A = this chain, B = another copy of it.
Amino acid sequence: MLATFEDIKAIYRNDPAARNIEFLLYPGLWAITFHRLNHFLYRLGVPFVPRFFSEIVRFFTGLEIHPGATIGKGFFVDHGMGVVIGETTIIGDNCVIFHNVTLGGTGKHQGKRHPTIGHNVFIGTGATLLGPIVVGDNVKIGANSFVVMRDVPSDCTVAGTPAKIIIRDGMRVEEDLPRTKEPATAA
């Protein structure tokens, strides 16, 4: 309940179009609220049912959040159609993501195979982040960017396909992203 209250506050903090009780109309809010219940069932080890519920939520909202994903407080998804968040994803507090954002796997890893996202991270429309990468705090990821097996340091803005750092600590730069360390063993 408290978590949902924080998620509602995140809508009004981030969306200038939100008025009166319009938070009820955000598919992302419905998806994240049901995900928080679903994630609880998943952690209890209930088989099949949480995944079934996540597909029902996808049908109604257009967001596909695997029940295993761990999501911090004050999470805001705007529009939300086409969002995919993988099983071993971890997201910090006060993050904002837009429609068609993918936090997915490469298909080459086992175990932890989806991104770990810090706090205060903003991920624009259509951005795709793949693999067990680490994204720091206070990061902006531009719309339509593509990051695969590269980490993103804190306090920067990245953009492009493939993505590069374009702002770091407030200064314009053009730097490649550091390669993500491959896990020592395949499992």
Contacts and interface: CB of A to CB of B under 8 A. Distances in A.
A16 B125 contact: no
Interface string A110-136: 100100000000001110101000000
Interface in A1-44: 14, 16-17, 19-22, 25, 27
A148 to B, nearest CB: 7
A25 B52 contact: yes
B84 A81 contact: yes
Contacts of A102: 98-99, 125-126, 143
Interface residues of A, number: 51
A179 B22 CA distance: 33
6 pairs of A and B residues whose beta carbons are closest in the complex: A128-B143, A144-B146, A81-B82, A25-B55, A79-B84, A144-B161
Given A17-B105, A81-B82, A143-B146, 13 more contacts: A16-B105, A21-B48, A22-B51, A25-B51, A59-B60, A79-B84, A81-B81, A81-B84, A102-B125, A142-B148, A145-B161, A146-B159, A161-B161
